Amino acid sequence: MRTQVVIIGSGPSGLLLGQLLAKEGIDTIILEQKSKDYVLGRIRAGVLEEGAVRLIEQAGAAERLHQQGLIHDGTEIAFDSARHRIDFKGLTGKTVTVYGQTEVTRDLMDARASIGAPTVYEALDVSLHAIESDRPIVRFRANGTVQEIECDYVAGCDGFHGVSRRSIPEDRLKAFERVYPFGWLGVLVDKPPASNELIYVNHERGFALCSMRSTTRSRYYLQCRVDENVEDWPDDKFWEELTRRLDPEAVSKLSTGPSIEKSIAPLRSFVAEPMRFGNLFLAGDAAHIVPPTGAKGLNLAASDVAYLSSAIIDWYRRNSRGGLDAYAGRALARVWKAERFSWWMTQILHRFPEESGFDQRIQRAELEYLFSSTAAQTALAENYVGLPY
Ligand X SMILES: Cc1cc2nc3c(=O)[nH]c(=O)nc-3n(C[C@H](O)[C@H](O)[C@H](O)COP(=O)(O)OP(=O)(O)OC[C@H]3O[C@@H](n4cnc5c(N)ncnc54)[C@H](O)[C@@H]3O)c2cc1C
Task: Indicate which residues carry an active-site annotation.
Answer: 72, 200, 292, 296, 384
Which residue, 246, 188, 249, 185, is CA-closest to 42?
A: 188
Q: Which residue lies nearer to ligand X by CB, 263 or 368?
A: 263
Give the Cα separation of 387 and 381 in Å (integer): 10
Nearest approach, Cβ of residue 217 and ligand X (Å): 14
Helix (H) or strand (E) holding 105: helix 101-114
Q: Which residue lies nearer to ligand X by CB, 26 or 163?
A: 163
Peptide bond into 12 cis (omega under 30): no
Among 18, 74, 156, 159, which residue sits at the site for ligand X (rule: CB under 6 A)? Answer: 159
Q: Does 29 bind ligand X (CB under 6 A)?
A: no
List the interface residues with ligand X, window 255-284 (CB under 6 A).
265, 284
Q: Which residue lies nearer to ligand X by CB, 94 or 364?
A: 94
Which one-letter DSSP state was computed for residue 133?
Answer: S
Give the Cα separation of 79 and 351 in Å (integer): 12
Q: Does 31 bind ligand X (CB under 6 A)?
A: yes
Phi, psi at 189, each rounded to 5° = -140, 140
Which one-letter DSSP state was computed for residue 352?
Answer: P
Q: Which residue lies nearer to ligand X by CB, 92 or 299?
A: 299
Q: Which residue lies nearer to ligand X by CB, 148 or 249?
A: 148
Q: Regarding beta strands 28-31 and 119-120, do their DSSP bridges make them parallel or antiparallel, or are they unpaired?
A: parallel
Q: Which stretches of the chain are assigned E, i.e. beta strand?
A: 5-8, 28-31, 47-48, 70-72, 74-79, 82-87, 96-98, 119-120, 124-129, 137-142, 145-150, 153-156, 174-189, 199-202, 208-212, 218-224, 259-273, 276-277, 280-282, 288-289
> What number of chain residues touch ligand X (CB under 6 A)?
32
Among 246, 285, 313, 339, which residue sits at the site for ligand X (rule: CB under 6 A)? Answer: 285
Applying CB under 6 A, the span of 59-67, 295-303, 311-319, 346-354 interacting with ligand X comes to: 295-303
Q: Does 165 bind ligand X (CB under 6 A)?
A: no
Among 96, 157, 338, 370, which residue sits at the site for ligand X (rule: CB under 6 A)? Answer: 157
Positions touching ligand X (CB under 6 A) are 8-14, 31-34, 39, 44-45, 101, 123, 126, 157-159, 161-163, 265, 284-285, 292, 295-298, 301
